[in-house]
């Protein structure tokens, strides 16, 4: 049996996690549409989504929670955590608002165009950490182009 190198294992874990995220987000689109149409307004759905997400994360990571809080984390790091959390919250909020007003088959592809925004922001803010190539931008543009084709194909 061949050993997989640590960097290769990390890459494979990253790909696997990405695919699982796609399944989870795809499920959220369908379930979210049902929620905002039949059960709750978008802001209520957002609130409960964030509350349940927090509870699940705490259940999974409660052992590390105290150590993470007690760590000598610089204040600047908490600022970035707050920005990331705020961005995620706005993303979830707009997601449910969009699902209330438009079909899943339109909302999911449009929301899925975030790779282009991520590539642009990474090239600006993460220059020292990541190299964003033209191939990255081309791939993101293909994702956005596909989303546009799907969106215009919806009647």
Task: DSSP for 38-81, please give it.
Answer: HT--HHHHHHHHHHHHHHHHHHHHHHHHHHHHHS---HHHHHHH
Cβ neighbours, 10 Å, residue 14: 10
Residue 9 located in a structural domain? no
Give the integer Cα–Cα distance in Å for 155 and 152: 8
Residue 2 located in a structural domain? no
Q: State the average pLDDT over residues 33-61.
A: 93
Q: What is the DSSP letter of 123?
A: H
Q: Which domain holds residue 105?
A: 15-153
Residue 41 located in a structural domain? yes
Residue 74 located in a structural domain? yes
Q: Please give the tally of structural domains in the chain.
A: 1
Q: What is the DSSP letter of 147?
A: H
Cβ neighbours, 10 Å, residue 42: 20
35 SS3 class: helix
Place of tokens 């989504």: 49
Residue 22 located in a structural domain? yes
Q: pLDDT-derived band of residue 154, with 50, 70 and 90 as boundaries? A: low
pLDDT of residue 89: 93
Residue 4 located in a structural domain? no
Q: State the average pLDDT over residues 23-50.
A: 93
């Amino acid at each position: 049996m061949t050993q997989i190198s640590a960097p290769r294992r990390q890459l494979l874990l990253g790909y696997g996690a990405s695919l699982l995220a796609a399944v989870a987000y795809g499920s959220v689109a369908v379930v979210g549409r049902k929620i905002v149409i039949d059960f709750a307004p978008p802001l209520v759905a957002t609130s409960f989504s964030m509350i349940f997400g927090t509870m699940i994360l705490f259940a999974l990571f409660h052992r590390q929670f105290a150590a993470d809080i007690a760590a000598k984390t610089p204040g600047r790091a908490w600022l970035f955590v707050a920005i990331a959390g705020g961005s995620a919250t706005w993303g979830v909020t707009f997601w449910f608002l969009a699902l209330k007003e438009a079909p899943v088959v339109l909302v999911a592809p449009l929301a899925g165009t975030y790779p282009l925004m991520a590539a642009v922001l990474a090239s600006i803010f993460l220059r020292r950490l990541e190299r964003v190539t033209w191939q990255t931008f081309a791939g993101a543009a293909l994702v956005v182009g596909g989303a546009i084709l799907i969106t215009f194909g919806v009647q």
